[in-house]
Amino acid sequence: MFDQVAVVGATGAVGRIIRELLDQRNFPVGRLRFIASKRSAGSKIKFRDQEITVEELTPDVFKDIDLAIASTPDEAAAEFCPWAVAAGCIVIDESGYHRMLPDVPLVVPEVNPEAVDQHKGIIASPNCSTTQMVVAMKPLHDAARIRRVVVSTYQATSGAGVAGEADLIDGSRAALAEESYAYKAFKHPIAFNLIPQIGSPKQDGYTSEELKMVHETRKILGDESILISPTCVRVPVTNCHSESILVETERKLSAAEARELFAATPGITVVDDLGAGAYPMPSNCSGKDDVFIGRIREDLSCPNGIAFWCVSDNLRKGAATNAVQIAELLVARNAAGCKA
């Protein structure tokens, strides 16, 4: 157990879910502290049977804090993480800043739990789209080694924060009323529309979001040879990212075998009955922590291909839940005498 644990970015959308999960999952902690920007400092947040005053994020705040679970923008993480590590605090960082640094483990507990032992004070949690995909890939990769992935994402507006959700809701109202609306999070209307760009333009016509899925997946699975072709699309859905995934494996897997592998994997729920109209959808996966998989079928275009549909709550497993699971993993491994 860690004596003092902090949630950094405690008043944000992901921070709120982290607080809820620490309570719901009965995370063991002596004293819980909430840290946020100067704007939120001094406010009070109820946790269990107490009210906790939010502290300002400063270099001195990490004194005596053993573990911090942080959900902040990249710039903030780049600044405060060295403060925390210098004070002897372990940081689980949700931002994208540390993910691809060679001395920072990038962890999804269902996929590469052993990687936490390599940390030097910072453990990174992956991009939300990468997280659900590698959870789905893991059992297939272990059974038959994945050589190639073609993935198209259908990403909810909650992935763009509060402004993204407001753009969808208010933009939809304006569109229905035939009124104009000034979009804040998106360059194009998201109401009744799809935007085939998430992130900034990068090399060879890919976006930063797409290249995250390439590089993060290889790092998490420890296999630089996996070929990955991603296309990331923003869709007019409030919450939960969906992905259409095709994997090509070295050894042929039947749809039945893939279904059994998925069903036997912790953290995955299979919903797959096409005849009954049963498959994962954002509307029935929101607020849940698992990765949901359906539409499992053998690919018609290559002999060793398996295609499937994957949905996960991007604010939970894609962010808050994964971070809390990393914290739980640290507690369990410390209790078992592994490296802290």
The domain that holds 298 is classified in CATH as 3.30.360.10
10 and 107 belong to one structural domain: yes
The mean pLDDT value for 149-153 works out to: 98
Q: How confident is the model over 171-221, as pLDDT tens digits?
A: 999 999 999 999 999 999 999 999 999 999 999 999 999 999 999 999 999
Q: What is the CATH number of the domain that holds 330?
A: 3.40.50.720
182 and 274 belong to one structural domain: yes
255 and 113 belong to one structural domain: no
Band (23; pLDDT cuts 50, 70, 90):
very high
Total tally of structural domains belonging to the chain: 2
Establish if 218 belongs to a structural domain: yes
Band (240; pLDDT cuts 50, 70, 90):
very high
- pLDDT exceeds 90 at position 165: yes
**Residues whose CB falls within 8 Å of the CB of residue 335, separated by 6 or more in sequence, listed in order:** none
The mean pLDDT value for 77-93 works out to: 97
The mean pLDDT value for 236-246 works out to: 98
78 and 157 belong to one structural domain: no
- Look at residue 338 in the predicted model and tell me its pLDDT: 62
Q: Which of 63-77, 236-250, 323-337 has the lowest mean pLDDT?
A: 323-337
The mean pLDDT value for 241-269 works out to: 98
90 and 195 belong to one structural domain: no
- Look at residue 77 in the predicted model and tell me its pLDDT: 97
Q: What percentage of the chain carries pLDDT values higher than 90?
A: 97
Band (333; pLDDT cuts 50, 70, 90):
confident
Band (312; pLDDT cuts 50, 70, 90):
very high
- Residue type for 182, please? A
- pLDDT exceeds 80 at position 339: no
- Look at residue 49 in the predicted model and tell me its pLDDT: 87
What is the strand order of the sheet 268-270 is part of? 227-234, 146-155, 241-249, 305-312, 291-298, 268-270
- Look at residue 336 in the predicted model and tell me its pLDDT: 63
- Residue type for 177, please? A
Q: Please, which contacts does 195-204 make with residues 24 or more away whose CB atoms are closer than 8 Å?
A: 195/233, 195/234, 196/231, 196/232, 196/233, 197/232, 197/234, 198/153, 198/155, 198/159, 198/232, 198/233, 198/234, 199/232
203 and 217 belong to one structural domain: yes
Point out the residues that are catalytic: 128, 241
Band (334; pLDDT cuts 50, 70, 90):
confident
168 and 266 belong to one structural domain: yes
Q: How confident is the model over 63-81, as pLDDT tens digits?
A: 999 999 999 999 999 999 9
91 and 138 belong to one structural domain: no
Residues counted in the chain: 340
* Closest to 125 measured CA to CA, from 79, 71, 89, 164: 71
The mean pLDDT value for 142-170 works out to: 97
What integer best gives the mean pLDDT of the chain?
A: 96
289 and 141 belong to one structural domain: yes
> Domain containing 251: what range?
130-314
102 and 194 belong to one structural domain: no
291 and 144 belong to one structural domain: yes
Question: 140 exposed, middle or buried (CB, 10 Å; 0-12, 13-18, 19+)?
Answer: buried
**Strand partners of residue 34:** 7
51 and 141 belong to one structural domain: no
- Look at residue 335 in the predicted model and tell me its pLDDT: 67
Q: How confident is the model over 39-64, as pLDDT tens digits?
A: 999 999 999 889 999 999 999 999 99
Establish if 340 belongs to a structural domain: no
